[in-house]
Amino acid sequence: MASSFYHLAKTFLVEPVVKTTFRPWVKGLDNIPAEGPAILASNHLSFSDSVFIPVVVPRQVRFLAKKDYWQGKGIAGAWNRWFFDASGQIPMDRSGGAASQNSLNAGEQALRNGDLLGIYPEGTRSPDGRLYRGKLGVARLALNTQVPVIPIALIGTDKVQPLGKMVPRVRRVGMIIGEPMTFESYYANAKDRFAQRAVTDAIIYQIMRLSGQEYVDVYAADVKRKLEAEKAQAEKRLGKFRRRKQD
């Protein structure tokens, strides 16, 4: 169901600012269905990705967004919760197991209601601009609902808002929207993890083909954890070195 707040905010606030400032270009917009459900599966380079896609796509896009956006405290936390709820976004628990499945169930219901559902198959933002291994949630949604998947390649959004940067830089960005993908040959085996992996890999391959990104066959989240651990170790060594100098 379309959100009045979503369309008002997009039409009178977000769209004029984004189109004037970043001048997004788009190819393949006619691949977005005028009505009916579909999954928009995109690479994920920047926090700004969830702004650029809705600006370009004429219909409302409901995203599976990480649940952290609903868990802030104080006035800022209350504002975030209201904003994400009012704009029709769906909290995604990425901890795995039943919690993640419940989030996917909410996304599945949105598709059964005829919505466009946005999802980032990599599960998190790329730490270095490369394309990483997809998680199986996108395949589960596609196979359970039997709706088309529209692969999307965002171009240059990592230059607008690199990982860890809050203030966007003014750069032109682009979006290439691929042809709808359907997976009829896998519908009978929707619960099979090998079928889910094949579907996920096919979607990631199309995103790679559209974006031109280098592909890395590991999960982006694992790379981020490794980088964070290395950073923590480096800071620890630096702290020890400074203490020795002071002594």
Q: Is residue 228 part of a domain?
A: yes
Residue 242 is predicted with a pLDDT of: 75
Please tell me the predicted confidence (pLDDT) of residue 212.
Answer: 97
* Residue 46 domain flag: yes
For residue 182, pLDDT beyond 90: yes
> What local confidence, expressed as pLDDT, does residue 148 receive?
98
Antiparallel, parallel or unpaired: β 174-177 and 149-155: antiparallel
- The pair phi, psi for residue 41, each rounded to 5°, is -105, 115
On whether both 138 and 246 belong to a single domain, the answer is no
Asked if residue 183 and residue 164 are part of one domain, the reply reads yes
Domain membership flag for residue 196:
yes
Same domain? 228 vs 188: no
**If you write DSSP's letter for every residue of the chain in order, what string do you get?**
---HHHHHHIIIIIHHHHHHHH--EEE-GGGS-SSS-EEEEE----TTHHHHHHHHSSS-EEEEEEGGGG---HHHHHHHHHHHHHTT-EEE--S-HHHHHHHHHHHHHHHHTT-EEEE-TTSS--SSS-EEPPPTHHHHHHHHHT--EEEEEEESHHHHS-TT--SPP----EEEE---B--GGGGGGTT-HHHHHHHHHHHHHHHHHHH-PPEESS-HHHHHHHHHHHHHHHHHHHHHHHHHHH-
Q: What is the CATH number of the domain that holds 47?
A: 3.40.1130.10
Question: Is the domain of 108 the same as that of 211?
Answer: yes
- How many CA atoms lie less than 13 Å away from 125 in the CB half-sphere? 17
* CA distance linking residue 161 with residue 48, whole number of Å: 7
Same domain, 206 and 230: no
Q: Is residue 159 part of a domain?
A: yes
The overall average pLDDT reported for the chain is 91
Same domain, 186 and 228: no
**pLDDT beyond 80 at 17:** yes
- The answer to whether position 151 is within a domain reads yes
Say how far apart CA 116 and CA 113 lie, in whole Å. 9
Residue 247 has a pLDDT of 63
Q: 132 and 231: one domain?
A: no
**What pLDDT, on a 0 to 100 scale, did the predictor assign at position 161?**
85
Q: Tell me: do 224 and 211 sit in the same domain.
A: no
Instruction: Give the Cα separation of 150 and 181 in Å (integer).
Output: 6
Range of the domain at 203: 22-66+90-216
Mean pLDDT of 238-246: 74
Residue 178 lies inside a defined structural domain of this protein: yes
* Domain-embedded: residue 73: no
With 80 as the cut, is the pLDDT of residue 229 above it? yes
pLDDT at 67: 78
* Same domain assignment for residues 162 and 231: no
pLDDT of residue 156: 95
pLDDT digit string (tens) for 93-104? 766 677 678 889
Portion of the chain with pLDDT greater than 70, in percent: 97
pLDDT value, residue 241: 67
Q: For the residues 114-130, what does the mean pLDDT come to?
A: 96
Judge if 138 and 44 occupy the same domain: yes
Q: What average pLDDT does the segment 71-97 reach?
A: 78
Predicted confidence (pLDDT) per residue in 131-159, tens digit? 999 999 999 999 999 999 999 999 999 99
Most confident of 58-62, 73-77, 229-233: 58-62
Residues 148 and 124 in one domain: yes
What is the per-residue pLDDT across 38-62, written as a single tens digit (0 to 9) for each?
Answer: 999 999 999 899 999 999 999 999 9
Say yes or no: 41 and 140 in one domain: yes
* Number of compact structural domains in the chain: 2
Residue 83 placed within a domain: no
